[in-house]
Amino acid sequence: MYQQISSSIPAVNCLWRAVVDEPATYIDPANEYWGLAFTRRSDRSFRAELIGPSLDPRELESRRGDAYWGVEFRAHVVIEGATKSSVLGATVDLGVDGNHFELLGCRYRVPHYEELEPFVAGLLDSSAITSREDVRRSLTGDGSGYSPRSWQRHIRWVTGLSRKQIQQLERARHAFFLLQNGYSPSDAAVAAGYADQAHMTRSMRLLRSETPAQIIAHHRAI
């Protein structure tokens, strides 16, 4: 069982949780987001991880009896005292002592899924994480305040990625949504802004490890 919901907190892309009935391997597509993930193993012990943004799909394994939940932060949200580039493509074990974990020198109790939103709100209030509104505006087209070259450096420092890389990830995600919702590969390529269908196919293979035909077969929305 997998569930993903939106959040009332603008800095959050989504909250998610999964309960594993049967062990499985699945692909986590490349994306510009980063997040915190928690696991309650079948022996009732906990695990906490920091998940960095990624330009490549990641293969993940789930184990029977484990429960997973987490929060996915938007690209313009930063961890104070850390750089996003240091966790690019990585999953960092935060270490758990009983039911507490440590994030950059601060100790927190592992939040249950129902506690994630207030937990994240607390991180924002304490400035353990910070929403960089200037970068958010820039990523939506507002280029005021810096020269183009300065924006390039600033965006990479905050997000760990270049503006072009983020745009490629956004375009692939949009194409995936269109393919899920009845668009043919040729129509999805045009609507998502690809040069042609072959360009979209190459992008989906690189970022999702799937072709448009596989996406239509396996992920078509009901």
Per-residue pLDDT tens over the stretch 44-85:
999 999 999 999 999 888 888 899 999 999 999 998 777 888
SS3 assignment for 29-85: CCECCEEEEEEECCCCCEEEEEECCECCCEEEEECCCCEEEEEEECCCEEECCCCHH
**DSSP tag of 54:** B
- Which residues are bridge partners to 26 per DSSP? 60
**DSSP SS3 for 20:** coil
Per-residue pLDDT tens over the stretch 130-167:
999 999 999 988 888 888 889 999 999 999 999 999 99
pLDDT given for residue 19 in this prediction: 86
What sign results for the dihedral spanned by CA atoms 205, 190, 178, 139?
positive
Domain chopping of the chain, boundaries = 2-133, 163-219
Architecture of 163-219 per CATH? Orthogonal Bundle (1.10)
Q: Is the pLDDT of residue 221 over 70?
A: no
